[in-house]
Amino acid sequence: TRTYPFTGAHQAGIATPAQDRLYLAAFDLTTSSRDEVVALLQRWTTIAARLTQGLSAGPYGPASGPYDAPPDDTGEAADLPPAGLTITFGFGRSMFVGSDGADRYGLASRLPGALVDLPHFPADNLDPARTGGDLVVQACADDPQIAVHAIRNLSRAAFGSATIRWTQLGYGRTSSTSTAQRTPRNLFGFKDGTANVKAEETSALDEHVWVPASAASADSTDSRWMTGGSYLVARRIRMRIEPWDRTSLREQENLVGRNKGEGAPLSGGTEFTEPDFTASGRGGQPLIATNAHVRLAHPDFNAGVRMLRRGYNFTDGNDSLGRLDAGLFFIAFVTDPRTHYIPMQNQLSKSDGLMEYLEHTGSGLFAVPPGIEDGHFVLGADGT
Interface ranges with ligand HEM (CB under 6 A) = 186, 188, 190-196, 235, 237, 239, 256, 258, 293-294, 297-299, 307, 327-328, 330, 344-345, 348, 358
| Terminal-to-terminal C-alpha distance of the chain | 37
- For residue 348, the minimal CB distance to ligand HEM (Å) is 5
- For residue 16, the minimal CB distance to ligand HEM (Å) is 18
* CB nearer to ligand HEM: pick between 57 and 328: 328
Rounded alpha-carbon distances, angstroms, from residue 243 to 188, 251, 274, 366: 11, 12, 30, 33
What lies within 8 Å, CB to CB, of 196 at 6+ separation is 175, 176, 177, 308, 309
CA 347 to chain centre: 20
- For residue 42, the minimal CB distance to ligand HEM (Å) is 35
- For residue 345, the minimal CB distance to ligand HEM (Å) is 4
The HSE-up count of residue 71 (CA atoms within 13 Å, CB side) is 13
- For residue 296, the minimal CB distance to ligand HEM (Å) is 9
* CB nearer to ligand HEM: pick between 104 and 173: 173
* CB nearer to ligand HEM: pick between 150 and 288: 288
- For residue 308, the minimal CB distance to ligand HEM (Å) is 10
* CB nearer to ligand HEM: pick between 194 and 223: 194
- For residue 164, the minimal CB distance to ligand HEM (Å) is 24
* CB nearer to ligand HEM: pick between 200 and 382: 200
* CB nearer to ligand HEM: pick between 206 and 373: 206
Q: Using an 8 Å Cβ cutoff, are 265 and 257 in contact?
A: yes
Q: Which amino acid belongs to residue 5? A: P
* CB nearer to ligand HEM: pick between 161 and 230: 230
Q: Using an 8 Å Cβ cutoff, are 324 and 318 in contact?
A: yes
* CB nearer to ligand HEM: pick between 209 and 358: 358
Q: Which amino acid belongs to residue 362? A: G
* CB nearer to ligand HEM: pick between 103 and 274: 274
- For residue 94, the minimal CB distance to ligand HEM (Å) is 22
- For residue 354, the minimal CB distance to ligand HEM (Å) is 6
- For residue 284, the minimal CB distance to ligand HEM (Å) is 23
* CB nearer to ligand HEM: pick between 83 and 255: 255
Nearest-angstrom CA–CA distance, 90 and 107: 15
